[in-house]
Amino acid sequence: MPLPSTSSLNYGYAVSAEQRNRVLRNTYWLLALSLVPTVLGAWLGVATGMTAALHGGLGILVFLGGAFGFMFAIEKTKNSSAGVAVLLAFTFFMGLMLSRLIGAVLGFSNGAELIMIAFGGTAAVFFAMASLSTVIKRDLSGMGKWLFVGAIMLLAAGVINIFVQSTAAMLALSVAAIGIFSAFMLYDLKRIVDGGETNYISATLALYLDIFNVFQSLLALLGIMGGERELSLIHI
């Protein structure tokens, strides 16, 4: 289920080039580090099956309650070293929540391949958006409110589809989420480059959510369209 980005909708430009570069460098380091607990959480969830019971209404409550609770805590601690620890705990939680989808995809004979394709595709999107953010001179601040509205609509539609269980709707939502959060990625990176975000923990959280949503949506799309079941040979 997609989560809206935490980006502020306001830009600020009264920041030196040195400070912008420092925020960008620290953000990239923390973003790379945040992938470690995500992978650990996903591995633990798949290995133990501890999230298998989280479906329907219970799954929604745990996911949204945990995610927004962590994001609130990160916002409160972002100006201290505790913010890093809370952020990493949040990424571990998100890995756990992702484990149900990963476990389902691993049920396909080509599941591992689909996961690697989704990872590679997400990395390609990130590097493309990172490159664009450094060459685009246009002010993208006007995109923020429209992307936020789109993310909220996706979240609402995703909650509804948990109960409807429509494959066609899942496909449409996945495609829309990839587009919206790829654009959000560009918007968030541009904010950092332009000095609109001066806190590297907040910047990391925003980019992490963009990457998480693109990966999750791409993996769901690949699972629906490219998943292959193993055929058992029955000898009579």
Cα separation, 3 vs 48, in Å, equals 25
Evaluate whether 2 touches 183 at the Cβ level (below 8 Å): no
* Dihedral of the alpha carbons of 80, 40, 151, 54, in degrees to the nearest 10: -120
The two three-digit tokens of residue 196, written as one number? 């609109």
Establish if 192 belongs to a structural domain.
Answer: yes
Cα separation, 207 vs 92, in Å, equals 16
Establish if 137 belongs to a structural domain.
Answer: yes
Please give the single-letter amino acid code of residue 181.
Answer: F
Q: Which domain holds residue 202?
A: 17-226
Q: Residue 231: its pLDDT value, please?
A: 46
Report pLDDT digits (tens) over 21-40: 899 999 999 999 999 999 99
Establish if 131 belongs to a structural domain.
Answer: yes
pLDDT over 90 (residue 227): no
Q: Residue 68: its pLDDT value, please?
A: 92
pLDDT over 80 (residue 173): yes
DSSP conformation letters of 21-79 = HHHHHHHHHHHHHHHHHHHHHHHHHHHH-TTTT--HHHHHHHHHHHHHHHHHHHHHHTT
Establish if 135 belongs to a structural domain.
Answer: yes
Establish if 12 belongs to a structural domain.
Answer: no
pLDDT over 70 (residue 121): yes
Establish if 43 belongs to a structural domain.
Answer: yes
Q: Residue 206: its pLDDT value, please?
A: 94
Establish if 168 belongs to a structural domain.
Answer: yes
Domain total in the chain: 1
Q: Residue 3: its pLDDT value, please?
A: 66
The overall average pLDDT reported for the chain is 87
Establish if 9 belongs to a structural domain.
Answer: no
